[in-house]
Chain A
Amino acid sequence: MELLNHLALGFSVALTPVNLLYALTGALLGTLIGVLPGIGPVATIAMLLPTTFTLEPVSALIMLAGIYYGAQYGGSTTSILLNMPGETSSAVTCLDGYQMARQGNAGAALSVAALGSFFAGCVATIMIATVAVPLSEFALNFGPAEYCSLMVLGLVGSVVLAHGSLLKAFAMVILGLLLGIVGTDVGTGTARFVFGIPELADGIGVVSVAMGLFGFAEIISNLESTEKREILTSKLGGMWPTRAQFRQSWPAVLRGTGLGSVLGLFPGGGAMLASFASYALEKKVADDPTRFGKGAIEGVAGPESANNAGAQSSFIPLLTLGIPENAVMALMVGAMTIHSIQPGPQVMTTNPALFWGLIASMWVGNLMLVVLNLPLIGMWIKLLHVPYRVLYPAILLFCAIGVYTTSNATFDVMQTAFFGLIGVLFVKLACEPAPLLLGFVLGPMLEENLRRAMLLARGNALVFVKRPLSLAMLSLAVILLLLIILPHFRKTREQAFRETDS
């Protein structure tokens, strides 16, 4: 019954006209950037962070969350019609979705993707609402040692799940942690790594790092390549899946939802991991795996449900433990801090309207997204016809305004451009930026908790293995690492990424 009361409170917040408007804005923007290749939720959320300053905190979070799960809906459209992922989390959808489109089944692929996502979104919302209370209560027992180990686990997770070389991903995490501690040390007031630049005393802005590495670098790399893309819109086919297609899809949707909801909870997880894993699972359980890659509808239904479930359930660690587990959640921490909300288990009790309002808005947002993505699909297809040469300057403009308005300072823009340059360098060196962003956000938190834990333990580092919870989390981190070093798992991981890269 308590759950119903919570949800009632949540809906009373989410259904106010203002918050409905922001949920719609988030869903629209999310679909938009999901459809458009070359701009992802990380860059978009970074771009909009400064503008949310004037909003109510709950409205701001509702909109930003909408962008993330909205992008999961939009991303499938581009994958299916263009054979090019609108979002990385829809990359696997290209494999069978585009084949379906070529066979004149694009309509069915699109509606299965949207309906699967909606189902997954509903399940994930209910799951967040049910596990949030016990998890938060559990997390209230965490001391600094547990928090440290949890963050280490999160960072290890992001390394294991990053594309490409493990060593590089590790180095990127450390680099991120180092960037995170630039600025004035909270404990002593010492200015660290500021190189005499007064603006750096407050630290590097998360907006600059995210937008430079994810926004600008992406645009520049796109401009360097001159690939041509072909849009298959002439034969959408019927929008409704046939009875046979429906029968094939729904078990895949169920499996994808389950897998996505669980994987979203894991550090480093979220939409992308969920969709990859779901595709692999569908291929494994299928009677005839050779159909995959040739337009198997399960290959669309599973991953598209999984990525939406994963996107939403990745909010759970943030909302209950205060630990972001992927780059988007790292930015949500930024959004909460702008409004001076310290993410953590106490949010639910100190700010119940915000907490439950955000959760309820996810269900509302998903409902809006089905409407936005099915009847209005034609509008998004038109958007795909806008050439990139017109699109990217507009994206740049919104980015530039977004950064500038963080503090109305030219310095922020220059700082972002600097990270853009670094981002291009990372692309050239094949270094994945997501672990860096996570390290960057966790840097100050990790240091603070490490100091506190060591102070409480009088300098004895064994405290991390003496406390059972902390030990459990560290062991999990070690197991993750071992798994990846073991040859078998390593091969599967490399294969999973290769399939979608090609």
Chain B
Amino acid sequence: MPTIRHPKDFFAGLLFAAVGAGAIVISTRYTLGTASHMGPGYFPRMLGLLLGVLGVVLSLRALRLRGEPFAAWKWRPTIVVLGSVVLFGAIVTPLGLVLSTIILIVLSSAASAEFRPREAVVASVLLAAVVVGVFVYGLHLQLPIWPGTK
């Protein structure tokens, strides 16, 4: 049983190989066409094949080459940062820019190890005023300021 000596390359390779294989499988549903009249399936199948081969080579090489191990994935920043942004996208129209800004700033500040709640609240209020000024009054973007104004 060969050992994985270069985990970063190995898993990157697996990922590429999987996406490549997936692309080939999905594009069999599209017309292939001929070399002179390429159908919608021609180019993706070409790319899928290339990506798959690259992925396999990368993974196989990772059994031989030596590389650093994975850095641990600290989940808190990922979840908090992306979660608060998605939440913002969902609430900005019903709740308006001011409230959603305050929620986004306070929530996302919690991703930092140096989180200070009071500072975050103050910053959020200031930023809410800034973005309303810049985006709504300055750039005339179609964003509601308060709940129910749209």
Interface residues of A (CB under 8 A from B): 51, 54, 165, 167-168, 170-171, 174-175, 177-178, 181, 185, 187-188, 190, 192-193, 216, 219-220, 223-224, 226, 387-390, 392-394, 396-401, 403-405, 408, 410, 412-414, 416-417, 420-421, 424-425, 428-431, 447, 450-451, 454-455, 457-461
Contacts of A185 in B (CB 8 A): 30, 40
State whether B127 touches A392 (Cβ < 8 A). Answer: no
- How many B residues, CB 8 Å from partner? 73
Known: A167-B61, A405-B141, A430-B8. 13 other contacts (CB 8 A): A54-B139, A168-B58, A170-B54, A171-B16, A174-B50, A216-B85, A226-B113, A393-B127, A401-B92, A403-B89, A421-B78, A424-B73, A431-B12
Which of B12, B82, B88, B141 is A421 in contact with, Cβ under 8 Å?
Answer: B82
Given known pairs A167-B58, A174-B47, A413-B86, the reply for A390 and B123 (CB within 8 Å) is: yes
In Å, the complex CA distance between A389 and B110 comes to: 9
Alpha-carbon separation in the docked complex, A192 to B42 (Å): 12
| Residues in A whose Cβ lies below 8 Å from that of B19 | 175, 178
Contact B40 A192 (CB under 8 A): yes
On whether the beta carbons of A178 and B44 are closer than 8 Å, the reply is yes
Assembly CA distance A200 to B44 (angstroms) = 16
* A420: B residues at CB distance < 8 A: 81-82, 85
Cβ A167 vs Cβ B54 within 8 A: yes
B149 within 8 A of partner (CB): no
B108 & A393 in contact (Cβ 8 Å cutoff): yes
Residues of chain B within 8 A (CB-CB) of A401 are 92, 97, 131, 135, 141, 143
- A348 vs B127: C-alpha distance when bound (angstroms): 41
Given A174-B47, A447-B43: A393 touches B109 (CB 8 Å cut-off): yes
The answer on a CB contact under 8 Å between A428 and B54 is: no
Q: Which of A392, A400, A405 has the most CB of B within 10 A?
A: A400
CA distance A326 to B82 in the complex (A): 26
CB neighbours of A394 from chain B (8 A): 105, 123, 127
Residue contacts A-B, CB under 8 angstroms, 12 given: A171-B54, A181-B43, A181-B44, A216-B81, A389-B112, A392-B108, A396-B104, A400-B104, A401-B141, A412-B89, A450-B43, A454-B38
Partner of A171, one of B43, B55, B84: B55
Residues of A within 8 A of B40 (CB): 185, 187-188, 190, 192
B44 touches A397 (CB 8 A): no
B95-117 vs A, CB cutoff 8 Å, 1 = contact: the mask equals: 00100010011001101111110
What residue of chain B has the Cβ atom nearest to residue A444's Cβ? B43
Main SS class of interface, A: helix
Partner of A455, one of B36, B92, B116, B120: B36
CB neighbours of A171 from chain B (8 A): 12-13, 16, 51, 54-55, 58
Contact A223 B112 (CB under 8 A): yes
* Contact among B9, B51, B74, B114 with A178 in the assembled complex (CB-CB below 8 Å): B51
Do residues B105 and A51 form an inter-chain contact, with CB atoms below 8 A?
Answer: no
Q: A193-B23, A400-B104 are in contact. Are A393 and B61 (CB under 8 A)?
A: no
Name the B residues within 8 Å of A397 (CB-CB).
Answer: 88, 101, 104-105, 127, 131
B44 and A188 contact, CB distance less than 8 A = no
Contact B54 A220 (CB under 8 A): no
Q: When chains A and B are docked, how far (Å) is the Cα of A185 from the Cα of B32?
A: 13
| B90 contacts partner chain A, Cβ-Cβ < 8 Å | yes
Give the residues from 119 to 146 in chain B that come closer than 8 angstroms, CB to CB, to chain A.
119-120, 123-124, 127, 131, 135, 139-143
Contact across chains for B70 and A428 when beta carbons are under 8 A apart: yes
Given A431-B12, A461-B35, also A193-B88 (CB < 8 A): no
Q: Give the docked Cα–Cα distance between A414 and B84 (Å).
A: 11
Cβ contacts under 8 Å, B63 to chain A? none
> When the two chains form their complex, are residues B47 and A404 in contact, meaning their CB atoms are under 8 A apart?
no
The 7 closest A-B pairs by CB, nearest first: A413-B89, A459-B36, A459-B35, A223-B77, A190-B40, A185-B40, A429-B12
- Rounded to whole angstroms, the CA-CA distance of A450 and B131 in the bound complex is 45
Which interface residue of B12, B30, B82, B119 has the most chain A CB atoms within 10 A?
A: B82
User: Closest CB of chain A to B50's CB: distance in Å?
Assistant: 5
B85 in contact with A417 (CB, 8 Å): yes
Q: Which of A174, A193, A396, A428 contacts B108 (CB 8 A)?
A: A396
Closest CB in chain A relative to B3 CB, distance in Å: 18
Contact A188 B131 (CB under 8 A): no
A387 to B26, CA, bound (A): 47
Check if B93 sits within 8 Å of A188, measured CB to CB. no
* Across-interface contacts of A455 in B (CB, < 8 A): 36-38
Report yes or no: A175 in contact with B44, Cβ–Cβ below 8 A: no
Task: Name the residue among B8, B13, B43 with the largest chain A CB count within 10 angstroms.
Answer: B43
| 8 Å CB interface, B28-71 against A | 30-31, 34-40, 42-44, 47-48, 50-51, 54-55, 57-58, 61, 70-71
Q: Which residues in B have their C-beta under 8 angstroms from that of A170?
A: 54
Q: Which residues of A contact B109 (CB under 8 A)?
A: 389-390, 393
When A178-B48, A403-B89 are in contact, do A393 and B135 touch as well, CB less than 8 Å? no
Name the one of A387, A428, A460 contacting B71, with C-beta atoms under 8 angstroms.
A428
A193 to B29, alpha carbons, bound, how many Å? 10
Considering only CB atoms, which chain A residue lies closest to B55 in the complex?
A171
A192 CA / B30 CA spacing, docked (Å): 8
Contacting residues, chain B, for A412 (C-beta < 8 A): 89
- The answer to whether A388 and B141 touch (CB under 8 A), given A188-B39, A404-B88, A417-B85, is no
- How far apart are B101's CB and chain A's nearest CB, in angstroms? 6
CA distance A484 to B89 in the complex (A): 44
**CB of B123, distance to nearest CB on chain A (Å):** 6
Residues of A within 8 A of B84 (CB): 396
